[in-house]
């Protein structure tokens, strides 16, 4: 038996301030946790901030790592202040401001990197970790996609794991991550109840800075050569539509957007609009009822099939049949629509508005004007002249392309008589100029034509690539008549879509080039999932909340009922978590239970454990008092200490301890 004085002393890691763990010095492992968390939440911003800022952040990380590995002193505070001021100045020069979404996040990234260089204790480290939590939120200011949500959930586990690691520095990293995951799982039921039952309010809870909408793509209130061809190489989704009943044919999918009246020789613009009182739509081929989920585009117009027979809430109808929202569409929006294909409203155009539809700038496109005036002299009637122009276009063998040659001052002349290569904006602009030059009122309509039907959820997805422009001509007996000059020259554009009508080598968007069946299936599945995410998570508004509560039996629930149910459920969840935690606390430890049984056996033999005795001292004293079973007592003591204070608890060792205690016969 080894005397107590001869036992080797157990060495413990040095602690700077054992009574204040927050003042404990940062270790290499702590630094690794913090740097990993910062990289996790800052990496998605690398594609959004200037390249020099990403490089600067990497240099700060490398500098701090070098100082830790070489055990050198951290830089002086005055040096960090100088670097911070230079960084703020550089960000101000880059963004022309230090306020706003993009510049604010860039500033936050720089300061987070500098904070590493003054981080000395766990208190400083905890501040950086909470900064990481805030950086998680900044990623959702740019995108709220499923991918971002999954990545940020992983970041939450890592950040919480860092906090756990500060409190348990000797535990394995995997064990700390499991603890962090368990803590976050406890919060999931609470978050779910708050999400489902917390009363929704109309509009966002906070305002976004103006620069949050600067990068939004889509149609604009003007059009010049090349505008739509550049937009049509984008795979971005403009909106989705779900029809109640049979969907329209591809040829009927004209989604009306901004109407352009004013022409300066090169660029078309919308001009002023008037409110029109919606009247009944007559005639038409078919009536369609559908819902639209439109993506934010920072404009007031809404998209609908021609001709709209209803209006969404908080919207109005303009004199040129545009559906306009009272507020700019800065959030994903869902609205119900009814349209009549080929329907017409009463003609309410005044002589002044019709005269506006014949204006052309003087001195532009002389060949086009001369051709139209020649037609006017030989053809009687506006409708007959329009049909003649359509026939003439069909015979000219134009080429539909996303890569038209650049045009000069007389852009319509050069397109019609020289290059004969263009996109829809070239065709529509040229046709309207021909009509106006002949004295026939005409205007350009922009919007989208077509859409991709998803067989999984039934939605038609309309992308920016489907951006289109066509013409409307005013015929005295019929009102405004749609003419699509692009379809006249290239009928496949409206029958089978843009991708099948372009020449080989044109830069067709990637998602429109997918022909493989399994890739299409994968895309449809992903888009259906993303659409449900948009509808039920990002678009979970008052209407959706009522719909969901109605499905589970809460009909006509007002905010008082929802708050009552919410508080009751939260109380039940907290009570359940408390009971589960108490059960874990009061549940006897099997190893401790065996040790207590061992102590009772020795007490029955006259050897009782003193309150101040540890397991080693007690085992050695009992072995000296009962020499006949000394080896068994010492063995049980060593097994107990290994299981009680060791890093692992193999079940085989617990079973061996149980057998040893059971076989012990001290008397």
Residues designated as active site: 424, 468, 484
**Separation between Cα atoms, residue 224 and residue 265, nearest integer Å:** 9
| Residue 3 burial class via C-beta count within 10 angstroms: exposed 0-12, middle 13-18, buried 19 and up | exposed
CA-CA distances (angstroms) from residue 396 to 123, 359, 407, 649?
A: 77, 26, 19, 86
Contact 347, 317 (CB under 8 A): no
Distance separating alpha carbons of residues 564 and 561, to the nearest angstrom: 5
Q: CA 383 → CA 370, 387, 539, 559, distances in Å?
A: 19, 6, 46, 59
Q: How far from the centroid of its chain's Cα atoms is residue 251's Cα?
A: 32
Residue 240: enclosing H or E segment and its boundaries? strand 237-243
118 with 80: CB under 8 angstroms?
Answer: yes
DSSP character for 25?
A: B
d(CA 185, CA 203): 30
DSSP code for 117: T
Quick check: helix, strand or coil at residue 36? Answer: helix
> In this structure, are residues 213 and 141 in contact, taking their beta carbons and an 8 Å threshold?
no
Neighbours of 99 (CB within 10 A): 11
Phi/psi at 221 (5° precision): -90, 15
- Asked if 617 and 607 touch (Cβ cutoff 8 Å), the reply is no
For the chain, the C-alpha Rg in angstroms (whole number) is 37
The string of DSSP codes covering 490-523 is -THHHHT-STTTSPTTS---GGGS---HHHHHHH
Instruction: Give the integer Cα–Cα distance in Å for 332 and 302.
Output: 12
């Amino acid at each position: 038996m080894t005397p107590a004085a001869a036992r080797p002393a157990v060495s413990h890691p040095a602690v700077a301030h054992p009574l204040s763990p927050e003042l404990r010095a940062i270790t290499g492992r702590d630094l690794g946790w913090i740097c990993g968390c910062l990289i996790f939440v800052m990496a998605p911003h690398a594609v959004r901030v200037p390249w020099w800022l990403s490089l600067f952040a990497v240099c700060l990380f490398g500098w701090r790592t070098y100082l830790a590995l070489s055990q050198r002193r951290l830089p002086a505070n005055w040096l960090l202040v100088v670097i911070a001021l230079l960084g703020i100045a550089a960000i101000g020069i880059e963004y022309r401001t230090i306020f706003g979404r993009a510049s604010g996040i860039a500033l936050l990234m720089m300061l987070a990197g500098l904070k590493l260089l003054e981080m000395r204790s766990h208190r400083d480290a905890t501040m950086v970790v909470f900064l990481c939590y805030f950086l998680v939120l900044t990623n959702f200011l740019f995108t709220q996609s499923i991918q971002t949500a999954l990545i940020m959930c992983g970041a939450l586990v890592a950040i919480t794991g860092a906090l756990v690691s500060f409190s348990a520095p000797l535990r394995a990293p995997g064990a700390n991550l499991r603890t962090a995951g368990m803590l976050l799982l406890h919060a999931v039921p609470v978050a779910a109840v708050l999400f489902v039952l917390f009363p929704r309010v109309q509009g966002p809870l906070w305002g976004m800075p103006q620069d949050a909408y600067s990068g939004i793509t889509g149609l604009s209130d003007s059009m010049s050569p090349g505008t739509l061809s550049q937009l049509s190489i984008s795979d971005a989704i403009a909106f989705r539509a779900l029809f109640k009943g049979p969907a329209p044919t591809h040829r009927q999918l004209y989604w009306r957007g901004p109407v352009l009246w004013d022409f300066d020789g090169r660029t078309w613009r919308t001009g002023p609009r008037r409110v029109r009182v919606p009247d009944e739509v007559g005639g038409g081929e078919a009536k369609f009822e559908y819902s639209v989920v439109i993506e934010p585009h920072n404009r007031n117009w809404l998209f609908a099939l021609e001709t709209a027979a209803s209006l969404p809430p908080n919207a109005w109808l303009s004199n040129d049949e545009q559906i306009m929202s009272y507020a700019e569409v800065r959030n994903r929006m869902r609205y119900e629509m009814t349209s009549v294909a080929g329907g017409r409203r009463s003609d309410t155009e005044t002589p002044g508005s019709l005269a506006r539809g014949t204006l052309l700038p003087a001195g532009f496109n002389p060949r086009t004007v001369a051709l139209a005036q020649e037609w006017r002299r030989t053809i009687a009637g506006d409708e007959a002249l329009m049909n003649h122009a359509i026939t003439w276009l069909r015979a000219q063998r134009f080429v539909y392309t996303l890569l038209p040659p650049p045009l000069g001052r007389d852009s319509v002349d050069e397109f019609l008589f020289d290059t004969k290569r263009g996109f829809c904006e070239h065709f529509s602009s040229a046709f309207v100029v021909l009509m106006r030059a002949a004295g026939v009122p005409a205007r350009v309509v922009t919007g989208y034509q077509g859409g991709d039907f998803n067989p999984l959820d039934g939605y038609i997805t309309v992308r920016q690539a489907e951006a289109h422009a066509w013409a409307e001509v005013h015929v005295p007996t019929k009102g405004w008549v749609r003419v699509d000059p692009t379809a006249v020259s290239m009928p496949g554009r409206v029958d089978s879509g843009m991708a099948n009508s372009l020449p080989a080598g044109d830069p067709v968007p990637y998602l429109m080039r997918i022909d493989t069946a399994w890739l299409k299936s994968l895309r449809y599945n992903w888009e259906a999932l993303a659409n449900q995410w948009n509808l039920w998570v990002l678009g979970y508004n008052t209407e959706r909340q009522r719909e969901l509560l109605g499905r589970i039996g809460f009909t006509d629930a007002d905010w008082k009922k929802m708050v009552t149910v919410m508080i009751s459920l939260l109380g039940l969840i907290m009570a359940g978590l408390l009971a589960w935690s108490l059960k874990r606390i009061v549940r006897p430890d099997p190893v401790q239970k065996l040790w207590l049984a061992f102590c009772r056996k020795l007490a029955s033999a006259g050897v009782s454990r003193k309150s101040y005795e540890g397991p080693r001292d007690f085992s050695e004293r009992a072995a000296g008092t009962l020499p006949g079973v000394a080896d068994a007592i010492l063995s049980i003591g060593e097994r107990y200490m290994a299981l009680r204070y060791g890093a692992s608890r193999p079940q085989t060792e617990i079973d061996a301890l149980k057998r040893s205690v059971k076989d012990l016969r001290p008397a």
